[in-house]
Amino acid sequence: MCAVASNFPREAVWKGFLNRHNKRQNYSMLFNSVTFLLFYLAVFAGYYLLPQKSRWLLLLVSSYGFYMAWNPYYIILILISTIIDYTVALRLEETEDAVKRKRLLQVSLTANLGLLFFFKYFNFFSKSTFGLLSYLGFTLKAPVVDVLLPVGISFYTFQTLSYTIDVYRRELKAERHFGRFALFVTFFPQLVAGPIERASNLLPQLQKFDVPLTYQRFASGLTQSVYGLFKKVVVADNLAVYVDAVYNHPASHNSATALLATYFFAFQIYCDFSGYSDIAIGTAKMLGFDFNDNFQTPYFSSSVTEFWRRWHISLSSWLRDYLYIPLGGNRHGEFNTYRNLMLTMLLGGLWHGASWSFVLWGALNGFYLSMEKLVNYHQWVTRSTLHRIFGAFITFHCICLTWVYFRADSFAKANTVVGKLFHFQGVVPEVQDLNVFLTSLLAVFILLVLDFFVFRKTSFDQFSKALKDWQLALFMAILFLLTVLFGVADGSVFIYFQF
Query: Could you give the CA distance from residue 19 to residue 25 in angstroms, rounded to a whole number?
Result: 11
Query: Could you give the CA distance from residue 390 to residue 489 in angstroms, rounded to a whole number?
Result: 38
Query: Could you give the CA distance from residue 33 to residue 480 in angstroms, rounded to a whole number?
Result: 14
312 is catalytic: no
Query: Could you give the CA distance from residue 57 to residue 20 in angstroms, rounded to a whole number?
Result: 35
H, E, C per residue of 476-491: HHHHHHHHHHHCCCCC
Which region, left, alpha or beta, applies to residue 485 given φ > 0 means left and ψ of -120 to 50 means alpha?
alpha
Query: In sequence order, what are the residues at sequence separation of 6 or more whose Cβ sits closer than 8 angstroms to the Cβ of residue 281?
Result: 189, 195, 221, 224, 291, 293, 294
- Among 253, 312, 352, 378, the active-site one is 352
Which residues partner with 4 through β-bridges?
431
Rounded to whole angstroms, what are the CA distances from 403 to 63, 263, 358, 400, 417? 33, 9, 10, 5, 11
Q: Quick one: how far is CA 406 from the chain centroid?
A: 13
Q: How many of the other CB atoms lie within 10 Å of CB of 208?
A: 12
Where in the sequence numbering do the catalytic residues fall?
A: 352
